[in-house]
């Protein structure tokens, strides 16, 4: 399973030639949508749609794509009040690999949510903050609660994107988190036997 980053909160998971695109809101930010015919599109929150996708999911539930189990878990959006669940975290499971993409959630998880999340190998989490999404403090709360093996930060300052709310620089966010990236790579190739028991931060270069 390969994980790539395209800016904002947009990442892709590819397995056996099947590509799942998560949070392709790039066209709303002044960039070009990456969704192509044959892709499966997932959205963790409100979105403008992905007309080119063969399937689109944006709500809690259980789905399957190319032997990858996808579980949507209801969550409170970062900008919403208590008691609401207008966001969806997506958990991807294939064999011994589990990836969780949180999206712009409020970083306090319930016991029921943590039970649904279970063991996570890779956590994809925003860090840009400024009231719009998860900030470094919130990201650390999620990391502590979920205890992933690999952390991939998303949704930070990007001169190529027109954010409605300015986002923190990645370097500043990581300083606040007191974390140093293990490496910066163009693609994260996930193999069970190569995962360390020590939590590591991996920065994905924008594709």
Q: Parse the chain into domains and list their residue ranges.
A: 59-204
Q: What is the pLDDT of residue 66?
A: 85
**Distance of alpha carbon 141 from alpha carbon 63, whole angstroms:** 28
Q: What is the pLDDT of residue 76?
A: 96
* CATH 3.60.21.10 correct for 59-204: no
Those residues with Cβ within 8 angstroms of residue 2's Cβ, 6 or more apart along the chain or in another chain: 12, 13, 14, 15, 187, 188, 189, 190
**Distance of alpha carbon 39 from alpha carbon 12, whole angstroms:** 10
Q: What is the pLDDT of residue 177?
A: 95
97: enclosing H helix or E strand: strand 97-101
Q: What is the pLDDT of residue 193?
A: 78
Give the Cβ contact number of residue 141 at 10 Å.
16
**Distance of alpha carbon 81 from alpha carbon 104, whole angstroms:** 13
Q: What is the pLDDT of residue 162?
A: 96
Q: What is the pLDDT of residue 47?
A: 75
**Distance of alpha carbon 43 from alpha carbon 59, whole angstroms:** 8
Q: What is the pLDDT of residue 197?
A: 82
Q: What is the pLDDT of residue 49?
A: 64
Instruction: State both tokens at 98.
Output: 């589990």
Residues of the chain with pLDDT under 50: none
């Amino acid at each position: 399973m390969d994980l790539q980053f395209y800016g904002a909160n947009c990442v892709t998971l590819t397995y056996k030639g099947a590509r799942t695109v998560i949070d392709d809101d790039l066209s709303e930010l002044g960039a070009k949508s990456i969704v192509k015919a044959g892709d499966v599109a997932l959205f963790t929150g409100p979105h403008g749609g992905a007309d080119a996708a063969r399937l689109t999911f944006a709500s809690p539930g259980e789905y399957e794509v190319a032997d990858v189990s996808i579980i949507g878990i209801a969550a409170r959006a970062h900008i919403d009040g208590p008691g609401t669940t207008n966001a969806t975290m997506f958990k991807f499971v294939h064999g011994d690999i589990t990836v969780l993409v949180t999206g712009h959630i409020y970083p306090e998880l319930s016991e029921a949510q943590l039970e649904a999340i279970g063991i996570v190998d890779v956590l994809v989490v925003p860090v840009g903050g400024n009231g719009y999404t998860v900030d470094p403090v919130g990201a650390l709360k999620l990391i502590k609660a979920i205890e992933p093996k690999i952390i991939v930060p998303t949704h930070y300052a990007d001169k190529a994107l027109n954010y409605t709310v300015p986002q923190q620089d990645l370097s500043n966010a990581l300083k606040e988190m007191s974390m140093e990236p293990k490496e910066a790579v163009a693609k994260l190739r996930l193999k069970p036997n190569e995962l360390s028991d020590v939590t590591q931060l991996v920065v994905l270069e924008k594709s």
